[in-house]
A and B are shown apart, each in its own frame.
Chain A
């Protein structure tokens, strides 16, 4: 994945700093609570939500289990419709392909539709290094780009900014990039949106090259789908002469009909709307309407490694709605930056360590960035069992084991820093396998309970710093059970 976040501290440290930021916490609380209630209402409107969710899950699972076949089919149908298909094994290759395609057109600037895949590979920075300027045109991406900031949410990358901060960024930075912000710009959202409209319009009208991602690719027909709100997507998809779409290989659905599921579940999960303002679909090129040249760059960049993990591969079902972020108590408090990836929140905590591996400090800590409350699983429109994958990845971090990296099977060593946890688990396994020892231990613990410290000493200190130690009962359960014959004869603890 991108080098944008290299050197990020582990999640606990980054989160600790973030929760001290009062403005950030207020902004996030306000935004996530607004959308939570709206999403619930939008979902409650359709009586067959559970069935739509199950169908979405099954379509994606089936596609992933036969991904080779569907990739080849997609390539054929896109080519037949007049598109040109490229394959990129990693971020560097994808960036090189896009930069070369832009250079071939002779242009030195591109307009971009909001796209997670191009964020993931750090395309803007790679193009900049080649002398090509990429203009983000989604409002939130524009706020991030102008503010020289990092995205903190999948759908609304500038969710950490409130209206006042956005006004200040526009007033200060717009003139550097083109048309300045209007005089006397206030912080009303409508005025801010209008300032973005004016600022970007000249760029849309002169653009010769557009860069996008896609929400879905239909294998059967070769159709790509972009779901959006503002119309910046439509601008980038229809006005330029050349369109380059960079899309992860997991975005395929087999048939046109499959869209009937996701076009119902995605808008309601994402922006809590019955339908988003604009959805564009295109199949190759159309004479006289839209770009004359269409390139599709199919991106792996860790996806096949993720696919190789039978438990973890369900993360590839993700349709990037961000409902799991909006509902997550950890995300709400820590914010998106603490996750050290363009994919923050619960889905990021399972996606980033799989796409990038658990080699870095931040990636090894991400599976722990959760209280395992399960709210993310409940709202997920494709039923990704995020807690299950989190626990699976924790096990991998602590114990090590076989994984696939860049297509090769390797054996991961147990991570450092989990020695106390491993020792505790080994001790527990030993004791639970020996009933006599367990009984003796429990009795000893009960008798000495008044002497127990409130926090653990040594390596257990960090664990008990944020947790209360459970109180030990005066009598072990099994002793109580025996003494009262399973609770049938009344009795109190000795």
Chain B
């Protein structure tokens, strides 16, 4: 007999195997000449082989994952900085980045976002540039020059009208923003702004200059730079600094494809499952960039354990390792004395269920064959 795709799908769908395997089976069986008995045998064989390929119960998957990520980690560069491609955005890569990911740092050392643009913006260079200017934090130095007049004890700001039209801001708006931020009066004469500090001292004047240099007049605060790059036939924005929640509201940005390398921020804005995906993607990309291939299952295990409690927690003293039930296992990791001391004060009991504590006391560990107890019937 010959089975159509629909019939094969129907037969295969009830099997207890992953979707990827089902799809492969459907592709392989469709249109093949076979008897009912042969079809049944093929399916039985696939199910049985899949069962054999799975991890055995009591296998130490955590240790295997740790070694499989740790060994290539020894070959990674210690060099922190790297320029991502031709765009002059600085991103941390290599071992420091991997450590940053598993430590679940609140803010990465070089936060950056990758923004895809919405339909209608993505293929137009001028529109892409407009979005970039709207997002980029604009300071006074982008718009003109600053000078201090020591005789008059004031700051003179000369605004460049070309720069202002480009960034779509007027001299009035600049004056207004400066008034808001400093609380001082701003004397505006067309493109020249004059400000004076409250007290006319030399120190106050210099402090005022420093302060107004830092004021973000337009765009998202913290987005220091936006670089446009063409990938394929699409313009993509790379930013220095990250603010996912704000950037997703900008016109022209496709909110469903925005990315950041700040995993905690993803957890807050998009949820724990997105954070888990981010950990997997960031770790895989970091390793791949160094020319190392680690099976994604090891990284998935790490991401799963980091996000199992509903929030991103680090692998380490303040996270996964620090939450182990056993006192001896925690003491074997870091800050030994504190853990043993606290346990003694509280009168903790160690159940000796884990690996580390059983190694310490010299007993067989409860993993693999060590987990099997023999029960004899007399």
A is bound by B: no
User: What is the interface of chain A, defined by CB distance below 8 A to chain B?
Assistant: none
